[in-house]
Amino acid sequence: RTVELLFEKFQVDRLYFTPSTSGALYSSGRTTGCVLETGHGITHVAPVYEGLTLPAAVRRLCLGGQDLTVYTEQLLNASGQKSDTPPWKLKEEFQVEQSATAVPTFLPDGSVIDIGSQVGEAWFDPSRVGLQVNMGLQYLMEGALLSAMPERRLYLELAENIVTSGGPSTMSGFNTRLKSEIQQLVDIDTRVKLAHLAPDRTGGVQVGAWCGAAILGSLSAFQELWLTKQSYEETGASVGSSAFY
């Protein structure tokens, strides 16, 4: 249906679909790695090998930016603290601590609040926002990595090429804390390395997937993979499956 809509209504000349996790990985300069991507309402971890997502290893958690926005507002109301910065923007100013400690946050509007560390902690303990699961982002990543355990070389390569994309990676200290949490879960011989999508290269972690897709589309070797409107008109909507990576 999507292919039909794009060709028939929007009259695009050619198209191709690639997972946002693969796009984020490309924008970091990699084709193999384990991508943690957080959106508005869901977070998922996807191992990618040579550009191909490994579907059986993908892990998902219904925790996203909207949950932390609501949690931020609840904490502000409960503590009686106020800020001119709206909750959805406020959470981006918080720092993720290396332990669940209360640290004051100095905001651009001049206010000082001490709920920041509690908000960041929700990524590692979702029960704080009311989710009935005992699985923070560190366990989500561990599960994805363990799915590749039968192939030891792949497991090690994924662990050394973890890429974070989306909201939480904008919080200061997030990658450091996540690396520490994952390192405690994997075996002693596994080296965990995280890559942060640099704003000067990709325009920021929130558009990393878009920039990665642009990089993919600019490659000369990619041009033969496009699904063209001519092919669609000759074969019909069934040809659409060839446009999915």
Amino acid at 187: D
Q: How much is the pTM?
A: 0.82
Please answer whether residues 142 and 185 qualify as being in contact, where contact means their C-beta atoms are separated by less than 8 angstroms.
yes
Task: Write b or e for each residue in 4-13: b if 16 or more Cβ atoms lie within 10 A of its Cβ, otherwise e.
Answer: eebbeeeeee
Taking alpha carbons only, the member of 206, 152, 162 closest to residue 182 is 162
Cβ atoms of 193 and 162 closer than 8 Å:
yes
Percentage helix, strand, coil for the chain under 3-state DSSP, each rounded to 5: 50, 15, 35
Note down pLDDT in tens along the chain; length 245 residues.
788 888 889 999 988 888 888 988 998 889 999 999 988 899 999 999 998 899 999 999 999 989 988 888 888 888 777 777 777 777 676 767 665 555 666 666 666 666 667 888 899 999 999 998 878 999 999 999 998 877 899 999 999 999 998 877 778 888 899 999 999 999 888 999 998 665 544 445 667 888 888 888 888 888 888 888 888 888 876 666 655 55
Through-space distance between the first and last CA atoms of the chain, rounded to whole angstroms: 17
Q: Among candidates 106, 104, 126, 114, which has minimal Cα distance to 80?
A: 114
Orientation angle between helical segments 174-185 and 137-146, nearest 10 degrees: 50
Element (H, E) at 181: helix 174-185
